Amino acid sequence: MATIRDVARRAGVSPATVSRVVNGLPGFSSATEERVREAVEQLGYEPDTLARGLKTMQSSVMGVLAPAVSDALASEVMSGVESAARQQGYSVVLGRTGAGSEYALGYLRSLKTFRAAGVVLISAAITPEMRRVAGRVPLISVAIRDGATFPSLAIDDEKAAYDATVHLLRLGHRRIGLLAGDVGSVLVNAPRERGYLRAMREAGASPILERGNSLYDSAPPALGRLLERDPDLTAVFALSDEMGAAVVNELQRRGRRVPEDVSVLGFDNTRTSRHVHPALSTVAQPLERMGELAVQSLLDGTGRSKILPHRLIERGSTSRPRRD
C-alpha cells in the first residue's frame, strides 16, 4: 500500500506538501497540486486518518449531532459546518440522535474514541454528562443559547420574538395567536414565548397561545385549537418555519386567505419559508454562519459563547389586517 512518502517522492515534493494538498489546505502552487494529485491517483494512495489521529492525538474528523430538530434547520447549519470544515481539511460525521440523550452520548463516545477535532450540537444544550463523556473533545451548541455554562452560538430568542410581535402590532394586528413549541424547550421556546408575551402586554393586547412541537404535522391541530378560542384572529406567529408553512396551508384548506384574512409569520428563515405560497415572512437566524463560526471556535480553541444578530424578513404571508 502506498504511503505519503511514496507520493512525495513521485511528485518531487515533501510529505508535508502532500498532506496539505490532500487535506485541501493552502500553501502550494497549482502546478504542485497537479503533480501531487497525479501521484495520488497513480499510486492509489489513501490517507490513513485514524493513524494520523493516533500520532497527533486528533483525527481530521468533526462531529455534528442533531437531536430532535427540523431537517431544514439542521441542513442549513450543516452547510456552514461542512464548508468551514472542508476548508480546514476536516471531514464531517453527522449523527441524528432524536430526543433521547442516550443516542447523543453513544455518538460522543465513538467520536471521543476516534479523537474527533470537535463536535457541534444543533439546537441541543450541552449537559454535564455529555461534557464528561466527550473528555477532551471540545463541544459547542448552535442555534440554542446556553448561557455561561457551555459554549454556544445563537441569537437572542426573546428579543427576536419580541421584535416580530411588535412588527405585527405595528401593522395593525391586535388578535395575534402564538403557535409555540414544546414546553420542555426552556432554552429556545421559552424565551420566544416571553418575547411574544412581553410585546402583547406592552401593547395592551390579549395573548392567545397553543403549542405544537416545532414540526410541520403538529401545527394543523394546534391552529385548530387557536381558531376555536378566537375565530377572528388576524395573525398567527409560529415559532418555527415548519409550523408556519403548515399554518399557511391549513388556513387555505379552511378557506381563509393568507394574508388577506390571516397574516402568518414564521421563525428561522429556512428553505421551508420560501417553499410555501405565499412565501413566509419570518425571523431570520444566520444558521449557515453559525455553522461556520462553530468550526472556527472549535479549531482555534476559543470556546466563547456569542450572540448573533437576527432580522425580520417580510414576504407575502403578512400584511395589514383587512378592514371590513
Domain extents in the chain: 57-155+288-309, 157-284
Per-residue pLDDT at 57: 43
Q: Do 157-284 and 57-155+288-309 have the same topology in CATH?
A: yes
- pLDDT tens profile 39-68: 988 888 876 554 454 444 456 889 999 876
pLDDT reported for residue 215? 87
Q: What is the dihedral of CA 96, 303, 61, 52, to 10 degrees?
A: -150
Average pLDDT over residues 233-257: 97
**Of the candidates 29, 123, 21, 127, the residue with the CA atom closest to the CA atom of residue 76:** 123
Higher pLDDT, 89 or 312: 312
Mean pLDDT across the stretch 14-19? 81
Nearest to 92 by CA among 73, 109, 111: 111
| The predicted structure's pLDDT at residue 171 | 98
Is 86 in a helix, a strand, or coil? helix
Position 184 pLDDT exceeds 80: no
**218 pLDDT above the threshold of 80:** yes
Q: Which CATH number fits domain 157-284: 3.40.50.150, 1.10.220.70, 2.160.10.10, 3.40.50.2300?
A: 3.40.50.2300
pLDDT of amino acid 245: 97
Query: Which CATH number is correct for 57-155+288-309, 3.40.50.2300, 1.10.287.1080, 3.40.190.10, 3.30.565.10?
Result: 3.40.50.2300
Q: What cell was used for 268?
A: 428561522
pLDDT of residue 88: 86
- Give the residue, 3 or 263, on which the prediction is more confident: 263
71: amino acid identity, one letter? D
In this structure, are residues 67 and 36 in contact, taking their beta carbons and an 8 Å threshold? no
Determine the pLDDT at residue 96: 84
Asked if 178 contacts 193 with a C-beta cutoff of 8 angstroms, the reply is: yes
What integer pLDDT is reported at residue 191 of this predicted model? 94
Q: Are 97 and 35 in contact (CB under 8 A)?
A: no
β partners of residue 264: 236
Q: Average pLDDT over the chain, rounded to whole?
A: 89
Q: For residues 244 and 264, what is the distance between their CA atoms, to the nearest angstrom?
A: 7
Between 26 and 203, the higher pLDDT residue: 203
**pLDDT (tens digit, 9 = 90+) per residue, 99-140?**
656 778 888 998 888 889 999 999 888 888 998 999 989 999
Lowest mean pLDDT among 21-35, 130-144, 244-258: 21-35
Residue 68: the pLDDT is 62
According to DSSP, the β-strands at 281-284 and 311-313 are antiparallel
CB neighbourhood size of 290 (10 A): 25
Which residue's C-alpha cell is 406567529? 237
**Could you count the other beta carbons within 10 Å of the beta carbon of residue 321?**
20
Q: What is the reported pLDDT for 50?
A: 46
CB 267 within 8 A of CB 164: yes
